[in-house]
Chain A
Amino acid sequence: EIVLTQSPATLSLSPGERATLSCRASQSVSSYLVWYQQKPGQAPRLLMYDASNRATGIPARFSGSGSGTDFTLTISSLEPEDFAVYHCQQRRYWPLTFGGGTKVEIK
């Protein structure tokens, strides 16, 4: 199965700063990479699909890039509501797999 490695595990930043999150796959998943956001005590929420497509209602400060094995989620300027855990998932192969998550916390 495909192993996804997210880095860093924790990112400590201030509101207004730029966040750059990485997700690396153990083999190529083409562009079939999905990002979810999860806040404490809540269910995950779809953020981006197929590496660079924002889901409905997701603000433009969120952007995604990458293909093959290396992917990046960028939040251009952190808002207070963006502090959360971000999970990547590959949808290229069954079984679907998630990365371990990156927590974006307030510095």
Chain B
Amino acid sequence: QVQLVESGGGVVQPGGSLRLSCAASGFTFNTYAMHWVRQAPGKGLDWVAAIWFDGNNKYYAGSVQGRFTISRDNSKNTLYLQMHSLRAEDTAVYYCASGFCSDVSCYAEVQGSWGQGTLVTVSS
């Protein structure tokens, strides 16, 4: 079955950097779009970034554009999120999620499977 395991979270000072990883298994990673979605403590979901199956298209939320970079290594079945210039408001659980395929079609923009998340805390 699909498994997504995030790592790399932790405590970082404002202005610092962090790289998150998401190890994928149980599906053909190199055929699926991938996403990062975050959730601040006690708040709703906040979509962060997406990358197409081949890495050629990337999309970002306005709040992270220019500070975060999404990437993937299909040879390692791994998704990454490089985060720079971190702010207190970036504190959240960061989830990695895959696109979704039904029996008849695939939907890159839909988050079909999710990892358990990794907590990023930005604090001095």
Interface residues of A (CB under 8 A from B): 1, 32, 34, 36, 38, 42-46, 49-50, 53, 55-56, 87, 89, 91, 94-101
B114 contacts A43, C-beta separation under 8 Å: yes
Decide: B47 and A97 in contact? CB cutoff 8 A.
Answer: yes
B interface, by DSSP: helix, strand, loop or mixed? Answer: strand
| Proximity bits, B100-124, A CB within 8 Å = 1, else 0 | 1010000101111111110000000
Cα separation A96 to B62 with both chains bound (whole Å) = 10
Partner of B100, one of A46, A87, A96, A98: A46
CA distance A50 to B115 in the complex (A): 22
Contact B102 A101 (CB under 8 A): no
**Total contacting residues, chain B, CB less than 8 A:** 24
> B residues bordering A, Cβ < 8 Å?
35, 37, 44-47, 50, 59-62, 95, 100, 102, 107, 109-117
> How many contacting A-B pairs (Cβ < 8 A)?
62
Q: Chain A: which residue is nearest B64 at the CB level? A: A95
- Of A1, A45, A49, A87, which is within 8 A of B110 by CB? A49
- How close is A73's CB to chain B, nearest CB, in angstroms? 15
User: Contact partner of B112 among A50, A55, A87, A101, CB < 8 A?
Assistant: A55
Contacts of A49 in B (CB 8 A): 100, 102, 107, 110
Contact of A55 with B100 in the complex, beta carbons under 8 Å = yes
Contact residues in B for A101 (Cβ distance below 8 Å): 44-45
B45 adjacent to A36 (CB under 8 Å): yes
Q: How far is the CB of A84 from chain B (nearest CB, A)?
A: 13
B44 near A100 (CB under 8 angstroms)?
A: yes
Most buried by B among A43, A44, A46, A56: A43
Closest to A96 in B: B47
The 4 nearest A-B residue pairs measured at CB? A91-B109, A43-B114, A96-B47, A98-B45
Option from A32, A43, A89 in Cβ contact (under 8 Å) with B47: A89
Given A36-B45, A53-B102, A95-B60, verify A44-B112 contact (CB < 8 Å): no
